Amino acid sequence: MGICTAVVHASPAPAGYVMEIQLVPAACSLDPQRNKKRKCLEGYSLNVLGLYPEVAAQRNCTSHTVLNLPPIQAKVVARVMPDENARKQLWQGVGGCVPMPANQYFRMMINYAEKLKIPDELTSQETRVMQAAVLRSRMLRLNPGLPTQGFEFSCQQNKTNSILTEIKICYQNNGHYKACPKNVQNNCPATFTIKGSF
């Protein structure tokens, strides 16, 4: 039994992880289809999209195990990732590349999310225009040990301006921050809009 378990989870360790945090008000306003989702209806300001293992692009990360979290853990995970289908899809897509079972992976994701300090501007009810450099310096001040290259912003253009939609944070396997790999790019202009939470 022990040997089988070891074999099932013997996926080689990735080079690190990238946590993607979605700014929910921005995502909901840019995609009307999303407005019916729980995170939009219940006024979430931030949502973790996933903790993605850093592996070679051609590697197949599909999981062959079904996501079945204990009810108490599912409740905790729902605080940062409310959509159950999104959790299942995430595990289906990355489970084959993480060297641990699902409950451990989601525990790790929660630990990273809870440890990360987020500037108030990202959870405010007011929509505001902000300079990337100002937000970057606030992130660095709130999170000792986070290198300047340890996170990147993603924006989406609407008719009139650029809206901040995601923040990506990069981690070593031991949970310490690290500089992001080259494929994690900032695509935001020097100034962008942060959507208020409704």
Please list the pLDDT of the chain residue by residue as tens digits (198 residues). 333 333 344 567 899 999 999 999 998 888 877 666 777 877 788 999 999 999 988 889 999 898 999 999 999 999 999 999 999 999 999 999 999 999 999 999 999 999 999 999 999 999 999 999 999 999 999 999 999 999 999 999 988 899 999 999 999 999 999 999 999 999 999 999 999 976
Please report the pLDDT score of residue 3 as a whole number.
36
Please report the pLDDT score of residue 33 as a whole number.
73
For the CA atoms of 156, 171, 175, 22, what is the dihedral angle to 10 degrees?
10
- CA distance to 24, 82, 86, 95, per residue, from 41 (Å): 10, 11, 16, 29
- 51 three-state secondary structure: strand
CA distance 61 to 96: 4
Q: Which residues pair with 172 in a beta bridge?
A: none
Please report the pLDDT score of residue 2 as a whole number.
39
CA distance 108 to 126: 31
CA distance 143 to 145: 6
Tokens describing residue 116? 């990360």
Tokens describing residue 163? 């809206």
Q: Domain 17-194: which topology?
A: Ribonuclease Rh; Chain A (3.90.730)
Instruction: Map tokens 């606030």 to a residue.
Output: 138
Please report the pLDDT score of residue 28 as a whole number.
87
Please report the pLDDT score of residue 1 as a whole number.
36
- 166 three-state secondary structure: strand
Q: CA nearest 150: which of 125, 168, 132?
A: 168
Angle 143-145-151 (CA atoms, 0-180°, nearest 5)? 70
- pTM value is 0.89
Please report the pLDDT score of residue 35 as a whole number.
60
Which residue type does 66 have?
Answer: V
Please report the pLDDT score of residue 160 as a whole number.
86
